[in-house]
Amino acid sequence: MKVLHVIFSCNRLQYLTKTLDSLKNLDYGNHEVTRLIVDDYPRTRNDFIFDLFAKTHKTLLWLNKENLGLSVTWSNFFNWLKTQDYDYVLHQEDDVVLTRKIHIDDLIEVLESNDKMASVVLQRQAWYFHEEPCKIETGDLPFGNFYYGKNTKTFPIIFSLYRKSITEYPFQEYWGFNINEGMIMVYLDHFHQMFSAQLKGPNGKNLIEHIGEESTGKRILEGEPNWEQFAHMDPNQVYSSRNGKLIEN
């Protein structure tokens, strides 16, 4: 199978380097895999460093010339992906490390076990103040050495596998906006009764560790859904990714 492994980046090298090093724990099996880094924060970016990543980690580069924001970058990526010849997309953020060996064949097996499963998302540790430690929840389903819960609220890309065919759904046409993880899943749930599987280890523990304490760059455009949540953020400043508060220099 042809797999595109894409990392959405915002030039946070302190996290991206650890993320790339962590991929030694990812087993691609016998699949034909293409790596791609999409970076959306050119203001402080050193393109030569990304060229080095391209050589050392055998990845293609998509370097935005301006900070477009996550919603625009995601929409542009999906529109481009429609024209590409891949079977699956392994989509992740730039601040995630694997806590154990992950075999992409396992993720594909979980995904293909249910045609209503839109994606398989590796469970991260508790991050926000209201979250509890990972465990096997009532309603979680066993699958081989894993458990998974059904998520019908968001289509997370923190570390997820989905079929390339998911891009064929008319998300932008229906909503009239650039896309985000909530809009994608609301559409899939409402019209096709689909869900994302939150995949946990055999003891209900997380499979990835989120390490990105700091956040920067544009998220969504003014007027798009949830704009009010990010309206206070200056894309040229650094904020806590846990509570959205400004981190003083």
- Segment 160-213, tens digit of pLDDT: 999 999 999 999 999 999 999 999 999 999 999 999 999 999 999 999 999 999
Look up residue 52 and give its amino acid.
L
Q: Is the pLDDT of residue 71 over 90?
A: yes
Q: What percent of the chain has pLDDT over 90?
A: 93
Residue with tokens 């030569």: 48
Answer yes or no: is pLDDT of 248 > 80: no
Q: For each of the domains in the chain, give its residue range(s) and CATH number, in order of start.
A: 2-214 (3.90.550.10)
Residue 75 contacts residue 167 (beta carbons within 8 Å) = no
CA angle 200–125–59, rounded 5-degree value: 80
Q: How much is the pLDDT for 234?
A: 93
The pTM (predicted TM-score) of the whole model is 0.96
* Distance between CA atoms of residues 76 and 71, nearest Å: 9
Q: How many CB atoms lie within 10 A of CB 22?
A: 19
